Amino acid sequence: MAQANIGVLIKSILQDKAKEILYFPFWWYGKGFLIALNFLWEKIRGMEARLGLKIWAKNLFTPMFGQRDFAGIAISFFMRVVQIIGRFFILVLWMILMAGLLLLWLGLPIFVVLGIVINLVA
């Protein structure tokens, strides 16, 4: 009786693990991909908030330090343009990094399987 229960238990565990292994690619490229995409999108939004691009763009024509003469307005405008361009460049680099991480997410299982196959053949 105990032998039968152990056999059923082992069979159940092996079936469960086989289902998990077979389900893994569907999860990785389905729900897991959406989770990773959402995570990286939040990182991009967080970087945009830290850089304050919207605030800099909104205040583009507002003079700095309340200086309302032509020189103050011109200096403020060009300083903000330089700041916006620099911060936008940083944001683009951050987006490229996040896109690279997403591509790494997509390619990682393929490289792992390829590495296992190469090592098993060799």
Q: Which residues touch 70 (CB under 8 Å, ≥6 apart)? A: none
pLDDT digit string, tens, across residues 14-24: 999 999 999 99
User: What does the alpha-carbon distance between residue 39 and residue 98 come to, in Å, rounded to a whole number?
Assistant: 10
User: What does the alpha-carbon distance between residue 99 and residue 1 come to, in Å, rounded to a whole number?
Assistant: 56
User: What does the alpha-carbon distance between residue 25 and residue 53 come to, in Å, rounded to a whole number?
Assistant: 38
Domain residue ranges of the chain, discontinuous segments joined by + = 24-121
User: What does the alpha-carbon distance between residue 44 and residue 97 come to, in Å, rounded to a whole number?
Assistant: 10
pTM confidence score: 0.81
pLDDT digit string, tens, across residues 38-67: 999 999 999 999 999 999 999 988 888 888
Of 86, 94, 88, the residue nearest 44 (C-alpha):
94
